């Protein structure tokens, strides 16, 4: 494990000693083009404006960098709350391996997600995907398969109803779609890669949730427990061609227990006061409400530095 962590550190281009010497803190993110890379960049920019010297360190996905963060190899990360919960408890793809040192800094705006197809295709609903080639596998990004399952469940389908095209990550999935290897791909609304795909194919359609009822939500939650339904207005994001229901779930900035209270306090303060700076970097931060930072983190505890900041600004 120590050798694996050392290899990962080299892959990120840093070591904990190097960070200390440079007096910086790092935020681990997913690949460029992904939502979490956009988010991490925005948070880092706000932190830098507040005086906390921050750099982003991309990896393929949170399930790759979470163990490194848990060990103290980097100070912060961005991910969805469900994955962090699973990482702490060792459930799902963590196969009993627990990451008990993870702590939450603050809740962000919900991640809104869709399955995208070409605007000029005859695929109008999730049910129309049946029997067609769709991205699958996601060998480097374990969160995506249950999220796909959640979407398909609202249409009474499973992944077995599609022809699987194996990809490593959401970015690779979008590339496969652009290349014409699949009819659709799953991605977060607002991510840079979605805009790239929209331009590349002459327009996207974001497929709405087929069953937006309580029963449909229960079907989605069976695969992704933190799932919620949100309504988006036509034109609010690339591919949203009509008012419709999509799946959303909480996302967070998190840290590990060994980071000093002062550093975590400074990051929480930067996020709380930095909405405008974050929105200027990544427009979806317009939906971020700083007063929601002290929300329900599930099984993961807040870091004491964050709790001290919340107390100081009255978020109790």
Same domain, 37 and 84: yes
Same domain, 124 and 99: no
Same domain, 119 and 223: yes
Last residue of a domain, one of 248, 277, 292: 248
Dihedral sign for Cα atoms in the order 263, 268, 273, 277: positive
User: Which range, of 4-13, 154-163, 170-179, 227-236, averages the lowest pLDDT?
Assistant: 4-13
Give the burial string for 171-186 (b: 16+ CB within 10 Å, else e): bbbbbbbbeeebbbbb
Residues contacting residue 229 through CB under 8 Å, at least 6 positions apart: 209, 212, 216, 217, 220, 245, 246, 247, 248
Same domain, 130 and 238: yes
Q: Phi-psi category of 253—alpha, beta or left, where left has phi over 0 and alpha has psi -120 to 50?
A: beta
More confident residue, 18 or 150: 150
Tokens 């227990």, residue? Answer: 257
Quick one: pLDDT at residue 275?
98
Q: Are 203 and 168 in contact (CB under 8 A)?
A: no
Same domain, 98 and 139: no
Counting residues of the chain whose pLDDT is more than 90, the rounded percentage is: 88
User: Which range, of 1-10, 23-32, 55-64, 202-211, averages the lowest pLDDT?
Assistant: 1-10
* pLDDT single digits (tens) 26-73: 999 999 988 899 999 999 999 999 999 999 999 988 989 999 999 999
pLDDT at 7 over 70: no
Same domain, 127 and 67: no
* pLDDT single digits (tens) 145-184: 999 999 999 999 999 999 999 999 999 999 999 999 999 9
* Pick from 108, 54, 55, 76: nearest CA to 250: 108
Average of per-residue pLDDT values in the chain: 92
Residues contacting residue 169 through CB under 8 Å, at least 6 positions apart: 30, 31, 34, 60, 61, 138, 140, 141, 144
Q: What is the number of structural domains in the chain?
A: 2
For position 77, which CATH number holds?
3.40.190.10
Last residue of a domain, one of 197, 218, 248: 248
Same domain, 100 and 119: no
Same domain, 144 and 182: yes
Same domain, 34 and 119: no
Owning domain of residue 261:
2-110+250-313
Same domain, 189 and 116: yes
Same domain, 40 and 123: no
Same domain, 74 and 118: no
Last residue of a domain, one of 248, 274, 293: 248
């Amino acid at each position: 494990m120590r050798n694996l962590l050392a290899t990962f550190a080299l892959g990120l281009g840093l070591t904990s000693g190097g960070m200390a010497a440079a007096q910086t803190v790092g935020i681990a993110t997913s690949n460029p083009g992904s939502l979490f890379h956009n988010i991490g960049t925005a948070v880092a920019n706000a932190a830098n404006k507040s005086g906390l010297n921050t750099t982003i360190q991309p990896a393929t996905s949170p399930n790759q960098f979470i163990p490194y963060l848990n060990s103290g190899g980097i100070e912060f990360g961005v991910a969805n709350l469900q994955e962090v919960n699973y990482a702490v408890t060792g459930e799902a793809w963590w196969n009993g391996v627990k990451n008990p040192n993870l702590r939450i800094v603050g809740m962000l705006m919900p991640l809104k997600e869709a399955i995208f197809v070409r605007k000029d295709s005859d695929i109008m609903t999730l049910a129309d995907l049946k029997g067609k080639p769709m991205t699958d596998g996601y060998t480097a990004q374990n969160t995506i398969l249950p999220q796909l399952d959640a979407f398909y469940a609202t249409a009474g389908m499973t992944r077995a109803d599609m022809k699987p095209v194996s990809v490593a990550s959401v970015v690779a999935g979008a590339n496969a779609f652009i290349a014409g290897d699949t009819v659709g791909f799953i991605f977060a609304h607002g991510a840079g890669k979605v805009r790239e795909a929209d331009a590349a194919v002459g327009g996207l359609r974001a497929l709405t949730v087929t069953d937006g009822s309580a029963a449909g939500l229960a079907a989605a939650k069976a695969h992704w427990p933190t799932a919620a339904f949100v309504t988006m207005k036509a034109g609010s994001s690339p591919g949203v061609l009509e008012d419709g229901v999509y799946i959303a779930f909480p996302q967070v900035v998190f840290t590990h227990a060994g980071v000093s209270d002062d550093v975590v306090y400074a990051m929480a303060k930067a996020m709380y006061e930095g909405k405008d700076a974050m929105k200027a970097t990544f427009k979806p931060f317009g939906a971020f409400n700083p007063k929601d930072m002290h929300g329900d983190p599930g099984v993961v505890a807040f870091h004491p530095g964050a709790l001290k900041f919340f107390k100081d600004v009255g978020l109790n």
